Chains A and B, each alone.
Chain A
Amino acid sequence: MFELNLNFLNGAKMNEGNIEDFLNKRIQDSLHTGTSDEFSDEVMKRIKLSLEFAKEDKKTFKFAGMISIAVIAVMSVLSYFIGSSIVISSGDEESSGFGILKSVYTYLSDLAAEILSAIGISGTGDSLLYLIIITFIIILFIAADKLILGKRN
């Protein structure tokens, strides 16, 4: 008697299990969606292109670095040359091109001294002028750096 009842329950359980399996399989089939046929090739093409770009970027960055060093070197040499020429040109300032440079320098130096005294700081005009030149060089360098990095990105 017990056996008969168990068989009945087992049968119902088996049917329930079969329906579950059927539903699992059919849900799985319905959920599945495939990509287009050329998808993998497209991804591989994109990867190869990105690697080529990375290589090019590396070259550009190296080149940009070299240019930055060259610009800094030229600027340093030029600053040194201009600085020394101002001192040397004191004798024949009227006849040489350095004379104009000297008068511009004197004008700026006087202006800087006036600004300093106006804000109540004691010091020569030269020190403010040097500060302005250094700030100008820094700004120029940052701008050049951003320009190069901007192109890189």
Chain B
Amino acid sequence: MTDIEIINKVKSGELKYFKELVDRYKDKSFSLIVKILKNRNESEDCLQDVFMKIFNSVMSSSFEEKSKFSTYIYSIVYNSAVDYYKKYRKKNFNILSIDVTNSNYKTGDELTSYFDESMIDKGLYSQGIEFSPEKSLSQNEISVIINEYINNIPEHYSVILNMFYINDLSHDEISKILNLPIGTIKNRIFRAKNKLKELLLKRMTAEELLEYV
């Protein structure tokens, strides 16, 4: 059943179909909110509010079928998470890095300045893995490195990565939701992936990495 078919069923009073919509979008939306709020409980509260808003907009027919329903949902999810952040953290959430205003800024600088590679070693250590440059990395070690990297990169990268990889939004759709130039979106995805590749290739050769592909 398509999203629009579900919406029509809900509008006609068959409420149980809304659960299908919730099940369809809850995890992907939750992933996005967690990248902003960085707290599971707060993210669940915020996501509940999001689904209430979506339900009300479905019932009041304020969703126009001109845009994709998924894009509509994720723009509500993003804006609600940012509002929640501002309300409860009493700070502004800025998808632009503060470094952008600096005259010496080069796109991607913040990845180097924010991300500390010792986090990866800490992550490996907490899993009882001791890294040795002589031996090749195991599948488990690669997972730890990637998870540590993704969990620690600044939110102006992780939000865009989530929208692209999890929410299946195009560069253009992300650019519209975040109100950022499309070039910035492409650049951040490229740099985030490149940095990860760099980190992995520091610890293993391309041939070794290819063994896991």
Whole-angstrom distance between the Cβ of B180 and the nearest chain A Cβ: 19
A43-B146 CB under 8 A given contacts A19-B210, A23-B196, A27-B193: no
Whole-angstrom distance between the Cβ of A35 and the nearest chain B Cβ: 5
A28-B166 CB under 8 A given contacts A19-B206, A33-B31, A46-B48: yes
Q: Which residues of A contact B146 (CB under 8 A)?
A: 26-27, 29-30
Give the A interface residue count (CB, 8 A). Answer: 29
Give Cα A34–Cα B44 distance, bound, in whole angstroms.
10
Give Cα A107–Cα B47 distance, bound, in whole angstroms.
65
Dominant secondary structure of chain A at its interface with chain B: helix
Q: B22 in the interface, Cβ–Cβ < 8 Å?
A: yes
A43-B51 CB under 8 A given contacts A23-B197, A33-B30, A33-B31: yes
Q: A47 in the interface, Cβ–Cβ < 8 Å?
A: yes
Q: B99 in the interface, Cβ–Cβ < 8 Å?
A: no
Q: A85 in the interface, Cβ–Cβ < 8 Å?
A: no
Give Cα A146–Cα B84 distance, bound, in whole angstroms.
30
Cβ-defined partner of B19 (8 Å) among A24, A27, A44: A44
Q: Which residues of B contact A51 (CB under 8 A)?
A: 15
A19-B31 CB under 8 A given contacts A35-B44, A40-B22, A40-B23: no
- 25 A-B contacts (beta carbon < 8 Å): A18-B210, A19-B209, A19-B213, A23-B196, A24-B193, A27-B146, A27-B161, A27-B193, A29-B146, A30-B143, A30-B146, A31-B162, A32-B31, A33-B30, A33-B34, A35-B26, A35-B30, A36-B44, A39-B22, A39-B44, A43-B19, A43-B48, A44-B15, A47-B15, A47-B18
State the 8 A-B residue pairs at the shortest beta-carbon distance, nearest first. A30-B150, A22-B213, A18-B213, A28-B165, A33-B31, A35-B30, A34-B27, A40-B22
Interfacial residues, chain A to chain B (CB-CB below 8 A): 15, 18-24, 26-36, 39-40, 42-44, 46-48, 50-51
Known: A35-B30, A43-B19. 19 other contacts (CB 8 A): A15-B206, A20-B193, A26-B142, A27-B150, A27-B161, A27-B196, A30-B149, A31-B31, A32-B27, A32-B166, A33-B30, A35-B47, A40-B23, A40-B26, A43-B22, A44-B18, A47-B15, A47-B52, A50-B52
Interfacial residues, chain B to chain A (CB-CB below 8 A): 15, 18-19, 22-23, 26-27, 30-31, 34-35, 44, 47-48, 51-52, 55, 142-143, 146-147, 149-151, 158, 161-162, 165-166, 192-193, 196-197, 206, 209-210, 212-213
